Amino acid sequence: MADEVRVSEAEAEPAGEAVHLPGPSYLPVLTAFGISIGVVGVVVMWPLIVIGALIAVSSIVRWIRETRDDISELPLQH
């Protein structure tokens, strides 16, 4: 059997590297809303397609910018 090795808390190294989780965002919901309006516009009338596309594209652009800003704040070791 394996020998037990006991290490005091002062000698122990951290369990692993810190996990980075992005902050909460409303942009995925806004993107889904814009896509839904666009799909409804296909059936109902074409101006809804334009409105839905504008909402979806603008929220996707903002989502990408937010993600890039979030990633740029990470340490360089990652």
Contact 64, 19 (CB under 8 A): no
Domain for residue 40, yes or no? Answer: yes
* 35 vs 77, higher pLDDT: 35
Question: What element of type H or E holds 41?
Answer: helix 27-43
Domain count, the chain: 1
- Which residue segment(s) compose the domain that 45 sits in? 27-72
Per-residue pLDDT at 68: 92
DSSP type of residue 6: -
pLDDT tens for each residue of 3-39: 676 756 666 666 666 777 888 999 999 999 999 999 9
Q: 């504008």: which residue's tokens?
A: 54
Token code pair at residue 69: 């800003």
- Total Cβ atoms within 10 A of residue 11: 7
